Amino acid sequence: MPKYLEKPPNWADDERPVIPGSPPALDHARFKRYAYFIIGTFIALTASLSNGFITANLPQLQGEYGLTPSESAWLPAVYVMANVSANLILFKTRQQYGLRLFTEVSLLGFIVVMLLHLLVQDGRMALIIRCISGFVAAPLSSLGMYYIMQSFGKANRLKGLYVGFGFNQLGIPLAWVISPFLVNANHWVNLYTFELGLAICCFAMVVSLKLPRGLKIDVIEKKDFMTFLLLAPGFACLCAVLSQGPILWWFDSVWLAYVLIAGFSLIVLGFFFEYHRSNPLILIHWLGTASILRFVIGAFFLRFLLSEQSFTAVNFLKTMGIGPDQFVGLYSVIFIGILLGTLFSAATFSKDHLFWPLLLATFLILVACRLDAHLTSDVRPHNFFYSQFLIAFANGLFIGPLLLTGMMRTLKQGTNYVITFIILFSATQNFGSLVGSSFYNTYQKHQAQVYQLDIEQTLNRTDPNIYQRIHQYSALYQPYLTDSTLDQAKASQLLSQVMARESQVRAYNDVVNINSIIAVLLFLWTLIHIILQKYSKQYR
C-alpha cells in the first residue's frame, strides 16, 4: 500500500486517479472544459516547438555558431539524451510532490532555459542549454496531455489521451512552417524571444487554471538516483553513437566503439542493480515477458518506419537544392496530416479494436513508400504532398492506440509497473527514431558511394551521348573563358557533379524501397497477431 503524504480527497470510484501522479477524472463545466483544452493544446505545441525549431534551423545554427557538421549534430542529439532519461526520475517526482507544484516548477525551469537561449554566444553554450531544454521539456508533454484529458467527460477520457499525445507531435511541422518568417525577421533573437513568450504564456495559463489536486505518496528512494546515474549516461552514450556514426563514419572513428561499449556496460549495470533491489524503479523481470517483447518490437519498428519522413523527404530535397522557405507548403501538409490522423484515431476509438489503427498506420506507410519509390532529380516539395500526408496521418493515428495497448496490459499487472512502462515507451519512441535516422543515413551514404563508383567505371567519354553532354556544358563557359583546356576541365567538373547528384537520387530510392520491405513485414506481423488474438478468444 502506498504511503500517503496527505489525505486523499473524497473521490467517487470512477473519479479516482488511475495512478498516483495523474489528475482525477472529474466532470467540469463546459466553459472550464474549453479552457482546459485550449491550455493543453498550447502547452503541447510549446513543448514540441522547442525541439522543432532546432531541427528546422540546424544548418543556419551551424553557420551562426561556426560549427562543423558533426558538431552541429550534437544539438538535437543532446536534447534526446536528456529527454529519454528524464522519465527515470520525473514520474516519481510528480507522485511525491504533487502535480500542481511539479507543473509550475517545470514551467519555470522551461522559462529559465528560454532566457538562457537569448544569452547564447557560442556552440558549447548552445549544447549545454539544449541538454537542459531536453530535460525540462519532458514533463510538458504529459502536462499538455493531462490538461486536454480534463476537457473530455468521464466517458470519453481516453479519447483525450489520444488527442493529447497526437498534439504533442504537431510542434515539429509547425516549427518548419513558421521558422522562415521568424528567423528572416531578426536572425535568432526573434526565434528565442518567441519561444520565451510561449513559455511565459503557458505559465500564466497554468497558474490561472490549475489541474485538479491529485495524490501525493512517498515513493522516492536514494537508490533511484543510483539507477539514474547508471542508466542516464548509458542512454546518452547510445544517442551519441547513433548521431555521430553516420557523419564521422562507423569504422573511421575509434572513440565511437569505446562510447558504445561504455553505454551498453552502464545500461547492463543499471539493469543488474535494479534486478536486485527490493523495490525497483524498473521491473526487469517483466521486460523479458513475451507480451512486452512483442510490444517493444511493434512500438520500435513503427517509429523506425516513421523516421523515413524526417530523413528521406527532407534530406533528399536539401540535396536537390531546396531551401527552408520552400518547405513551408510540405510541412503545412504534414501538420494537417498529423492533426487529422489524431482526430480520426480519437473519433474511431474502441477498446476492443486497438490493433486495427496500428495495422492501418503500417499500411498507410507502405502506400506512401510506394508513392515515393521513383524519385528523380526533378522532384520538388509538391511531389511529396500525397505520400507525406499519408505518413503524417499514420503518425497521428498510431500513437494513442499504441500507448493505450501497452498501458492496459501494464495496469493488469499493477500500478507499480507503470513507471517501467513509461520508461519503456519513451525509450522505444526515442531510440526507434534515432536508430531509423542513423540506419537510413548510413545506408544512403553507402549506396551513393557504390552508385557513383559504378557510374564512373561504366562512363565512356567516347560515347556520343557523353561527348554531346560535355560539349553542352562546355558551351556554358565559352562566353566567360578563353582557354579551351580550362573550358573542358570546367565541363568535366560539372559532369562529375551531375553524376554525384544522380547517385544520391538512386541511393534515396533504395532507402524508400528498404523502408517498404520493413513496412510489409510489420504489416504481416501485425495482421497475424490480430488473427491469432481473434481465434484465441473464440476457442477459450
Residue 166, CB-side half-sphere exposure with 13 Å CA sphere: 32
Domain map (residue ranges) of the chain: 1-219, 222-278, 283-449+511-540
Please indicate whether the domains covering 1-219 and 283-449+511-540 agree at the CATH topology level: yes
Residue 124, CB-side half-sphere exposure with 13 Å CA sphere: 0
Q: Please tell me the predicted confidence (pLDDT) of residue 319.
A: 83
Residues 6+ apart with CB under 8 A from 95: 20, 21, 215, 216, 217, 219
The list of the chain residues with pLDDT below 50 reads: none
Residues 6+ apart with CB under 8 A from 334: 173, 176, 309, 388, 389, 391, 392
CB neighbourhood size of 134 (10 A): 23
pLDDT in tens, 335-358: 999 999 888 888 887 777 777 888
Q: Please tell me the predicted confidence (pLDDT) of residue 265.
A: 93
Say how many Å lie between the first and final Cα of the chain, rounded: 34
CATH number of 1-219: 1.20.1250.20
CATH number of 283-449+511-540: 1.20.1250
pTM of the model: 0.87
pLDDT in tens, 10-20: 777 667 777 77
